[in-house]
């Protein structure tokens, strides 16, 4: 992969902290408009070609929890980001539920055997190590627990989306994000669209009025089926669930949370607020294991007469579409694609010259923020997008209208305290009971 010269990067970490991270989506709309205006002013004042290699030559010790497809990918992205900035990475420790996974990553990166940690509690030992940065890439069920351990241990954090599978977990991540802020830790999430030049440009333009006021839109992740794993003869429940995690909503949050979150995150980002209500339906046509749906269709009401239609599907041989599209009073735009706007040419939209690979750019932002001592923190935004997707899932599983307040503030709502079972603690305590395969929620009864 081509590595861009470091002086071609704009300072996206400052950009993010000013524009994205500080705009709590729980803020009322009035405040959001004010904040966007302030953010717009702040970014206009930024030098466009800020050199991000300041303080090059640093060495960071990194630990990885979850040595699967994305964990290994994130580690490679992290190393590439460090190289682009002139820093060095030592992969100091790894943790995985399974020995073969951990061993393979350790071997590749020269991690000694005594710094390989296994099982559901292995992450705890890893957090005790003198590492500067931890990458968290297990299935989503474990994210709040691992995030808590990382924040308590004072590590800078990259964590994959989604960051929870239930409202209790998502709110915990929001709270811990505030603790991380107080500790001056950087927290970057695997919502790579927020680190992609085309998306950053469009979001900036929209926030500065390029398409007027957003009045509606669609977001979708419709694609083919993912892998699934049959249970091995005599296999324990915890092992089966870890291997087959994309089939169980208790492990993944269901695919509206696990995959479609990316597009819902863009909707929240562009609109500057989470939805107020969700109503939808979904079902299951082809899955052979687990308890997830195959498809969802949700009407998210963002208030002020703005509706975003969300759809996601994991059924091979059907029409595929992964995108976001927003209609405004004065134009329209795709999330990171074509924008129709008469105003665009007159707006001073920065170039946001990010790394060509947004997965690498995430780690450039993380490392750069640490070196500069300007922590960035995506905990709240990714947790609120996770909560948005969870809201859609509950609406479809139950057939009910679900309000943001049911999950975020209304402590007597039946969904406020929803915590799925088995939990991360069950894995650590050896009390996992796998949900039944092929038993799915029935709307109206669930």
Ligand X SMILES: NC(=O)c1ccc[n+]([C@@H]2O[C@H](COP(=O)([O-])OP(=O)(O)OC[C@H]3O[C@@H](n4cnc5c(N)ncnc54)[C@H](O)[C@@H]3O)[C@@H](O)[C@H]2O)c1
Binding pattern to ligand X, positions 185-204, x when CB under 6 A?
-----x-x------------
Q: What three-state secondary structure class fits 246?
A: helix
Nearer to ligand X, 38 or 168 (CB): 168
Q: Quick check: 142 binds ligand X (CB under 6 A)?
A: yes
In angstroms, what is the minimal distance from the CB of 311 to ligand X? 19
Nearer to ligand X, 405 or 421 (CB): 421
Q: What three-state secondary structure class fits 193?
A: helix
One residue of 16, 80, 160, 294 binding ligand X per CB under 6 A: 160
Q: What share of the chain is helix, strand, coil (3-state, %, to 5)?
A: 40, 20, 40
One residue of 35, 138, 385, 400 binding ligand X per CB under 6 A: 138
Q: Quick check: 250 binds ligand X (CB under 6 A)?
A: no
CB 100 within 8 Å of CB 242: no
Q: Quick check: 139 binds ligand X (CB under 6 A)?
A: yes
Q: Please, which contacts does 6-9 make with residues 24 or more away whose CB atoms are closer than 8 Å?
A: 6/51, 6/52, 6/53, 6/56, 6/84, 6/85, 6/86, 7/49, 7/51, 7/52, 7/53, 8/49, 8/353, 9/50, 9/51, 9/52, 9/84, 9/353, 9/354, 9/355, 9/364
Nearer to ligand X, 4 or 226 (CB): 226
Cα-based angle 77, 223, 392 (whole degrees, multiple of 5)? 90
In angstroms, what is the minimal distance from the CB of 131 to ligand X? 15
Residue ranges of alpha helices (H) inside 134-218 are 143-152, 167-182, 197-207
CB 161 within 8 Å of CB 386: yes
Nearer to ligand X, 6 or 244 (CB): 244
In angstroms, what is the minimal distance from the CB of 244 to ligand X? 9
Which residue has its beta carbon closest to ligand X? Answer: 68
One residue of 2, 28, 30, 69 binding ligand X per CB under 6 A: 69
Binding pattern to ligand X, positions 256-295, x when CB under 6 A?
--x-------------------------------------
Nearer to ligand X, 4 or 322 (CB): 322
CA distances from 384 to 14, 168, 445 (A): 21, 12, 27
CB 432 within 8 Å of CB 241: yes
One residue of 25, 64, 106, 120 binding ligand X per CB under 6 A: 120
Nearer to ligand X, 13 or 252 (CB): 252
In angstroms, what is the minimal distance from the CB of 334 to ligand X? 18
- Of 33-41, 69-77, 173-181, 296-304, which part binds ligand X (CB under 6 A)? 69-77
Q: In this structure, what is the dihedral angle of CA atoms 229, 232, 235, 239, given to the nearest 10 degrees?
A: -30
In angstroms, what is the minimal distance from the CB of 412 to ligand X? 31
Tell me the β-bridge partners of 336: none
In angstroms, what is the minimal distance from the CB of 445 to ligand X? 29
Q: Quick check: 123 binds ligand X (CB under 6 A)?
A: yes
Nearer to ligand X, 35 or 354 (CB): 354
Neighbours of 329 (CB within 10 A): 10
Q: What are phi and psi of 322, to 5 degrees?
A: -120, 105
Q: Which residues contact 10 (CB under 8 A, 6 or more apart)?
A: 46, 48, 49, 50, 350, 351, 352, 353, 354
Q: Quick check: 67 binds ligand X (CB under 6 A)?
A: yes
Nearer to ligand X, 330 or 356 (CB): 356
Could you give the CA distance from residue 224 to residue 216 in angstroms, rounded to a whole number? Answer: 27
Q: Which residues contact 345 (CB under 8 A, 6 or more apart)?
A: none
Nearer to ligand X, 96 or 291 (CB): 96
Q: Quick check: 96 binds ligand X (CB under 6 A)?
A: yes
- Of 8-16, 118-126, 288-296, 366-374, which part binds ligand X (CB under 6 A)? 118-126
β-bridge pairing 277-283 and 295-301 = antiparallel
One residue of 40, 66, 274, 375 binding ligand X per CB under 6 A: 66
One residue of 24, 31, 98, 104 binding ligand X per CB under 6 A: 98
Site for ligand X in 360-399 (CB under 6 A): none
- Of 78-86, 136-144, 266-274, 364-372, which part binds ligand X (CB under 6 A)? 136-144
Q: Please, which contacts does 33-37 make with residues 24 or more away whose CB atoms are closer than 8 Å?
A: 33/272, 35/272, 36/207, 36/208, 36/272
In angstroms, what is the minimal distance from the CB of 136 to ligand X? 9
Could you give the CA distance from residue 187 to residue 204 in angstroms, rounded to a whole number? Answer: 22
**Contacting positions for ligand X (CB under 6 A):** 65-71, 95-98, 101, 120, 122-123, 137-140, 142, 160-161, 190, 192, 242, 258, 427
């Amino acid at each position: 992969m081509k590595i861009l010269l470091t002086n071609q990067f704009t300072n996206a970490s400052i950009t993010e902290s000013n524009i994205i991270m500080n705009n709590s989506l729980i803020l009322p709309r009035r405040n959001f408009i004010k904040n966007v205006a302030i953010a717009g002013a702040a970014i206009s004042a930024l030098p466009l070609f800020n050199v991000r290699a300041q303080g090059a030559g640093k060495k960071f010790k990194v630990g990885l929890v979850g040595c699967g497809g994305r964990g290994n990918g994130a580690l490679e992205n992290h190393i590439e980001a460090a190289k682009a900035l002139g820093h060095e990475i030592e992969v100091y420790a790894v943790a995985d539920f399974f020995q073969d996974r951990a061993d393979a990553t350790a071997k590749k990166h020269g991690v000694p055997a005594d710094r390989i940690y296994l099982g559901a509690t292995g992450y705890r030992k890893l957090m005790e190590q003198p590492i500067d940065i931890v990458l968290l890439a297990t299935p989503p069920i474990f994210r709040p627990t691992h995030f808590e351990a990382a924040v308590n241990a004072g590590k800078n954090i990259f964590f994959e989306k989604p960051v929870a599978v239930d409202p209790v977990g998502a709110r915990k991540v929001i709270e811990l994000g505030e603790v991380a802020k107080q500790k001056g830790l950087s927290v970057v999430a695997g919502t790579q669209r927020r680190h992609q030049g085309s998306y950053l440009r469009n979001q900036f333009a929209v926030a500065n009025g390029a398409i007027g006021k957003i009045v509606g839109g669609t977001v979708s992740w419709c694609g083919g089926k993912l892998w699934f794993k049959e249970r091995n003869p005599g296999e324990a429940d915890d092992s089966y669930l870890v291997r087959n995690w994309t089939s169980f909503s208790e492990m993944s949050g269901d695919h509206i949370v696990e995959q479609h979150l990316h597009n819902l995150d863009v909707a929240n980002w562009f609109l500057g607020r989470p939805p107020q209500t969700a109503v939808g339906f979904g079902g299951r046509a082809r899955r052979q294991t687990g308890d997830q749906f195959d498809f969802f269709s949700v009407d998210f009401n963002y208030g002020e007469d703005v509706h975003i239609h969300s759809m996601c599907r994991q059924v091979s041989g059907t029409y595929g579409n992964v995108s976001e599209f927003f209609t405004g009073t004065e134009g329209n735009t795709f999330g990171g694609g074509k924008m129709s706007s008469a105003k665009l040419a007159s707006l001073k939209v920065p170039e946001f010259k990010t790394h060509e690979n947004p997965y690498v750019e995430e780690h450039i932002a993380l490392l750069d923020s640490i070196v500069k001592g300007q922590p960035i923190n995506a905990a709240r935004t990714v947790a609120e997008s996770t909560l948005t997707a969870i809201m859609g899932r509950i609406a479809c599983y139950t057939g009910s209208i679900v309000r943001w307040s049911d999950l975020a503030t209304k402590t007597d709502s039946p969904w406020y305290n929803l915590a799925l079972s088995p939990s991360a603690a069950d894995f650590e305590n050896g009390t996992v009971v796998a949900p039944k395969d092929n038993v799915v929620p029935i709307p109206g009864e669930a």
